[in-house]
């Protein structure tokens, strides 16, 4: 069976074709670079996504801390990550690059901005 | 109070920051940035998603992270910032009048870099009939309310317009627990990047309806629902395709308009096709010593390209100051031919023997396309593009050896290949 994958790794958005037999990848074509090939294979076997989101700051009004997962998590875990983020509340100051929480669905949560 | 600075950059978003850094590194150390917000970064501050910086830094960054890199560059260089300061006027003698809590600031500049960015088209520009309830936001405004202030904009939403901000917001609303019923696009294709359709809509099963618009808005105090309808070839709603969708939130992602009120005040010539200034390859406008870059010049799809362009403007503004205004405003024109929506720069100063990069957009999806750059006499460059769509800016390089042979205006056209 042939699957079509749009690579999301860069703005080119290559249309990649993956030839699958059952759950194994037979052939990949149409990728613009090697990262895209790997992405297409993972997309057809176990899709993953990086998640960006928001965390509340307890001691600042109307200020949100933007965060990201430090690596991609399984696609079906996106909402689990968001739910965990919704439950977190940090105290400012927080600095860009700070780890806010470890091991949420296998990834660490990292601050993407500084809140003084 | 009249003060003097050699280069005044108006706007501290990605364009303004990159321009200021490039001007400084280009040898002109007396550079200031004026921004009306409390912090630099512009729209990047609210773009908490990732996908920035791949081209410029080789890694995937979120908007705030991308802004932080430039903020650091600015503080490392000691470039002076005036935040919470609004420029109220500029003129062709390069006097900048700005206002902040301390009062009025009058700055005499040698060069000005226009980096005011763009703003969103609003409901008023669309002629959607119906009432005027609360719950209708431009997509960027909703993005700011959610991502910067942590506010909840509604419970159930419809998005009109499938440009990148609309797509990104469809995902953000979904992640924040707001149900997105539909994304409607009046054109037969989306204006956003394909990757955003995949990761923002398909990942969450959000339907995208092409050739579809919102034909009516319902509700008195708060939005109660919208009527959507398919459109005919003249973009008129087809009545018997109308369908009611209950929702309390409507986001409009229907285009961005370069902000150029200040440019007008200084007598800068604007291009009706881009909505920004007419510039030469140095990003100098038709007013000597006034440069423009970023979304104030033309709306970009990638911030990385904004930075690149701003660096050109910054570098050349520095050159302008150092050489005391020796650039000529006398240049040949680059015009759009078949299937092209606009080109930037619109003019070329032929005395500069450098490679030339021309940025353009096509006016409809062409698929595989061949671009031809020609003078009145001959073809000077060709480029084959695997996929040409209006949502993606295309760059065409012209070798300096070719430029030397150019004596007349240049026209660029595109042809779809099968
Ligand atoms: S395959 Fe490579 S070039 Fe193509 S979209 Fe993916 S990352 Fe970009």
Q: What share of chain A is helix, strand, coil (3-state, %, to 5)?
A: 20, 40, 35
A92 in the same domain as A56: yes
A57 in the same domain as A10: no
Mutate to test the interface with A, among B40, B50, B66, B306 (most CBs of A within 10 A): B50
The contacts of residue A22 (CB under 8 Å, 6+ apart) are none
Strands B256-258 and B156-160 come out as unpaired
- pLDDT, position B1: 74
A61 in the same domain as A38: no
In this structure, is residue A101 part of a structural domain?
yes
Distances (CA, A) of A85 to A78, A109, B175: 11, 9, 11
For B87, half-sphere exposure in the C-beta direction (CA atoms, 13 angstrom radius) is 30
- Do the Cβ atoms of B295 and B258 come closer than 8 Å? yes
A91 in the same domain as A42: no
User: What does the alpha-carbon distance between residue B406 and residue B400 come to, in Å, rounded to a whole number?
Assistant: 10
Residue A96: list chain B partners with CB under 8 A.
Answer: 64-65, 68
Distances (CA, A) of B318 to B30, B106, B159: 9, 21, 43
A66 in the same domain as A15: no
- Do the Cβ atoms of B363 and B385 come closer than 8 Å? no
Residue B200: list chain A partners with CB under 8 A.
Answer: none
| Angle, alpha carbons B296-B299-B300 (nearest 5°) | 120
Residues of chain A with pLDDT under 50: none
- pLDDT, position A50: 93
Residues with CB under 6 A from ligand 1: A 7, 9-10, 12-14, 31-33, 35-36
Chains A, B: CB contacts within 8 A come to 77
CATH architecture of B331-418: Sandwich (2.60)
Strands B208-210 and B212-218 come out as unpaired
User: What does the alpha-carbon distance between residue B136 and residue A30 come to, in Å, rounded to a whole number?
Assistant: 41
Domain B1-120+256-327 CATH (choose: 3.50.50.60, 3.30.70.270, 3.40.190.10, 3.30.830.10)? 3.50.50.60
CA B398 centroid distance within chain: 24
In this structure, is residue A116 part of a structural domain?
no
- pLDDT, position B324: 65
Smallest CA–CA distance, residue B389 to chain A, in Å, is 11
C-beta contacts of B55-59 below 8 A and 24+ residues apart: B55/A10, B55/A11, B55/B302, B55/B304, B55/B305, B56/B304, B56/B307, B56/B308
- Ligand 1 atom 3: the closest Cα is on which residue? A32
- pLDDT, position B323: 84
What residues of chain A have any CB closer than 8 angstroms to a CB in chain B?
Answer: 6-11, 13, 15, 49-54, 56, 62-64, 66, 68, 75, 78-79, 82, 96, 112-114
A107 in the same domain as A57: yes
Give the burial class of B343: count Cβ atoms within 10 A of its Cβ; 0-12 exposed, 13-18 middle, 19 or more buried: buried
CATH numeric code, B122-254 = 3.50.50.60
Question: What is the CATH classification number for the domain harbouring A85?
Answer: 3.10.530.10
CB contact under 8 A, A112 and B64: yes
Structural tokens at position B149: 């202030």
The values of phi and psi at residue B36, to 5°, are -85, -15
- Give residue A32 CA to ligand 1 midpoint distance, Å: 5
Same fold? B1-120+256-327, B122-254: yes
From A35, A37, A40, A43, give the residue whose CB has the most ligand 1 atoms within 8 Å, as the site to mutate.
A35
Domain end marker among A46, A66, A81? A46
A65 in the same domain as A42: no
A61 in the same domain as A39: no
CB contact under 8 A, A82 and B175: yes
Nearest Cα to A36, choosing from A5, A13, A7? A7
Going from N- to C-terminal start, the domains of chain B cover 1-120+256-327, 122-254, 331-418
- Give residue B46 CA to ligand 1 midpoint distance, Å: 26
**ipTM at complex level:** 0.90
A33 in the same domain as A8: yes
User: What does the alpha-carbon distance between residue B138 and residue B302 come to, in Å, rounded to a whole number?
Assistant: 20
Whose tokens are 């176990």? That residue is A46
Structural domains in chain A (count): 2
- pLDDT, position A86: 94
By the CB < 8 Å criterion, does B148 face chain A? yes
A104 in the same domain as A71: yes
The contacts of residue B297 (CB under 8 Å, 6+ apart) are B15, B114, B258, B274, B276, B277, B279, B283, B309, B344
| 3-class SS of residue B328 | coil
From A18, A36, A42, give the residue whose CB has the most ligand 1 atoms within 8 Å, as the site to mutate.
A36
- Ligand 1 atom 8: the closest Cα is on which residue? A10
C-beta contacts of B339-342 below 8 A and 24+ residues apart: B339/B363, B339/B364, B339/B366, B339/B369, B339/B413, B339/B414, B339/B415, B339/B416, B340/B412, B340/B413, B340/B414, B341/B273, B341/B390, B342/B271, B342/B273, B342/B274, B342/B298
Q: Name the B residues in 319-338 with CB < 8 Å from any A CB.
A: none
In this structure, is residue A83 part of a structural domain?
yes
The pLDDT profile of chain B, 418 residues, written as one tens digit per residue, is 789 999 999 999 999 999 999 999 999 999 999 999 999 999 999 999 998 998 899 889 999 999 999 999 999 999 999 999 999 999 999 999 999 999 999 999 999 999 999 999 988 888 888 889 999 999 999 999 999 999 999 999 999 999 899 999 999 999 999 999 999 999 998 888 888 998 999 999 999 999 999 999 999 999 999 999 999 999 899 999 999 999 999 999 999 999 999 999 999 999 999 999 999 999 999 999 999 999 999 999 899 999 999 999 999 999 999 986 655 656 789 999 999 999 999 998 887 778 889 999 999 999 899 999 998 888 988 999 888 988 889 999 988 888 777 777 899 999 999 7
A73 in the same domain as A32: no
Q: Name the B residues in 358-397 with CB < 8 Å from any A CB.
A: 392
- pLDDT, position B154: 96
Q: Which domain holds residue A99?
A: 52-111
- Give residue A8 CA to ligand 1 midpoint distance, Å: 7
A80 in the same domain as A102: yes
User: What does the alpha-carbon distance between residue B313 and residue B307 come to, in Å, rounded to a whole number?
Assistant: 10
């Amino acid at each position: 069976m042939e699957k079509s994958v749009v690579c999301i790794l860069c703005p080119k958005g290559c249309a990649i074709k993956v030839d699958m037999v059952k759950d194994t990848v037979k052939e990949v074509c149409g990728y613009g670079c090697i990262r895209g090939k790997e992405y297409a294979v993972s997309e057809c076997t176990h899709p993953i996504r990086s998640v960006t989101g928001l965390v509340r700051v307890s001691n600042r009004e109307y200020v949100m801390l933007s965060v990201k997962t430090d690596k991609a998590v399984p696609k079906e875990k996106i909402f689990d990550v968001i739910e965990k983020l919704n439950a977190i509340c940090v105290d400012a100051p927080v600095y860009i690059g700070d780890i806010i929480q470890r091991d949420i669905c296998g990834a660490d949560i990292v601050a993407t901005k500084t809140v003084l | 109070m009249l003060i003097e600075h050699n280069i005044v950059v108006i706007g501290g978003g990605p364009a303004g920051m990159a321009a200021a850094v490039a001007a400084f590194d280009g040898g002109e150390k007396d550079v200031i940035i004026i921004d009306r917000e409390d912090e630099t970064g512009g729209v990047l501050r609210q773009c908490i998603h990732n996908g920035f910086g791949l081209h410029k830094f080789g890694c995937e960054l979120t908007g705030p992270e991308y802004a932080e890199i430039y903020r650091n560059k600015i503080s490392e260089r000691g470039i002076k910032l005036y935040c919470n300061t609004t420029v109220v006027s500029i003129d062709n003698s390069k006097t900048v009048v700005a206002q902040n809590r301390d009062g009025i600031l009058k700055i005499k500049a040698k060069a000005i870099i226009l980096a005011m960015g763009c703003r969103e088209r609003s409901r008023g520009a669309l002629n959607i009939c119906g009432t005027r309830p609360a719950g209708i936001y431009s997509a960027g405004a909703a993005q700011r309310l959610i991502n910067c202030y942590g506010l909840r904009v509604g419970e159930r939403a419809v998005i009109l317009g499938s440009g990148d901000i609309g797509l990104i917001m469809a995902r953000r609303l979904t992640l924040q627990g707001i149900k997105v019923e539909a994304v409607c696009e009046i054109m037969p294709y989306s204006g956003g990047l394909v990757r955003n359709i995949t990761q923002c809509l398909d990942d969450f099963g959000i339907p995208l309806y092409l050739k579809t618009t919102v034909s009516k808005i319902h509700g008195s105090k708060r939005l109660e629902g919208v009527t959507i309808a398919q459109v005919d070839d003249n973009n008129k709603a087809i009545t018997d395709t109308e369908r009611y969708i209950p929702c309390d939130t409507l986001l409009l992602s229907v285009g961005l308009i370069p902000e150029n009120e200040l440019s007008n005040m200084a007598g800068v010539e604007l291009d009706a096709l881009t909505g920004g200034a007419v510039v030469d390859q140095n990003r100098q406008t038709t007013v000597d010593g006034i440069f423009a870059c970023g979304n104030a010049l033309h709306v970009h799809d990638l911030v990385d390209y904004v930075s690149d362009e701003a660096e050109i403007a910054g570098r050349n503004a520095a050159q302008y100051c150092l050489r005391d205004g020796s650039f000529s405003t006398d240049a040949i024109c680059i015009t759009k031919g078949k299937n092209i929506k606009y080109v930037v720069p619109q003019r070329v100063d032929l005395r500069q023997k450098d490679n030339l990069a021309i940025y353009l957009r096509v006016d409809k999806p062409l698929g595989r396309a061949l671009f031809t750059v020609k003078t009145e006499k001959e073809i000077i460059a060709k480029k084959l593009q695997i996929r040409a769509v209006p949502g993606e800016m295309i760059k065409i390089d012209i070798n300096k050896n070719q430029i030397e042979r150019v004596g007349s205006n240049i026209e660029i056209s595109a042809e779809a290949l099968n």
